[in-house]
Amino acid sequence: MNQASDVVLLSAFSPLTFTFRILERDFTGVAGPLFVAALSGQLHWIVLGLGLFDNVWAVLTLVALWIPIGSWCTAGLLRFSLKVARGQAYGYQDLWSVDASVLQLLLLELVVYVGVAATVFVLAFVLPREAGSDGDWLSGLPSLAPALGTVGQVAVSLVLAVCWLVLLTRTAIAPVLIVDERVGVFRALARSVALTRGNGGAIFFYWIIIGMIGGMAGPMFGSAALSALTVPGIVYVGLAVRGELV
């Protein structure tokens, strides 16, 4: 860990080391609440993975209805992890409190969905379409695929992928700031970009490491395990870049 020009530089392993340290200190008291909250927030994906819904509108309805629940669980995960990181008293009661941060996290998730929809819309213009798609919603949109060619399509797709990677790494601690500093969505996003300067690579590689570990949990509970492992590490980053825990 180094400091240069008032920027705290972190290792990709620092958040993971912190997570394992708090688990080693109180495994049952920390792992239990983390997994319960993460599982509650991801329960709709588990239900969908069981194949209980085969209608696209039913799937979309379930996902939409679970967004507020997921935001509530995320707020609890972050609140709990912040208390653990600071050595404060913590427990299951920290997971279920409702405050203004839940609404802000909900708005943040909606912003992400809007960004995903915009990306899909752009790709609908750029990528080639399958034969026989005249009857779907794409048929009314002009296609740029012939003009761009294969090279152009790949280039646009890569630019979009890089933009998403940069955004997701530089805004990674926005949820932490929303819960901890009680700021709005766009203030949190701007603060996250500023605070994570110089640490985008470390955060990106941390996600790769944690994703590999989470994948070992299997497809059914892998997403919940991934969330339970990721949140304490991101909380560590959010505290470290603000001068705590360093």
The confidence score (pLDDT) of residue 121 equals: 86
Q: Is the pTM of this model over 0.75?
A: yes
Q: Which domain holds residue 180?
A: 2-240
- pLDDT tens, residue by residue, 85-135: 999 999 999 998 888 899 999 999 999 999 999 998 888 888 776 655 555
Q: Supply 153's token pair.
A: 């399509």
Classify residue 17: in a domain, yes or no.
yes
User: Residue 176's pLDDT is what?
Assistant: 97
Within the chain, strands assigned E span 2-4, 7-9
Asked if 16 and 210 count as a contact pair (C-beta separation under 8 A), the reply is yes
Q: Averaged over 167-185, what is the pLDDT?
A: 95
DSSP secondary structure letter of residue 128: -
How many domains does the chain contain in total? 1
Torsion of CA 142, 144, 146, 150, to 10 degrees: -150
The Cα–Cα gap between 202 and 234 comes to 11
In the predicted model, what is the mean pLDDT of the chain? 85
Mean pLDDT within 126-152:
70
Query: Could you tell me if residue 245 is inside a domain?
Result: no
Task: Tell me what percent of the residues of the chain surpass a pLDDT of 70.
Answer: 88
Residue 84 has pLDDT above 80, yes or no: yes
- Tell me what the mean pLDDT of segment 166-173 comes to: 94
> Dihedral through CA 119, CA 125, CA 126, CA 132, nearest 10?
120
Q: Would you say residue 246 lies in a domain?
A: no
Distance CA(146)–CA(74), nearest Å, equals 43
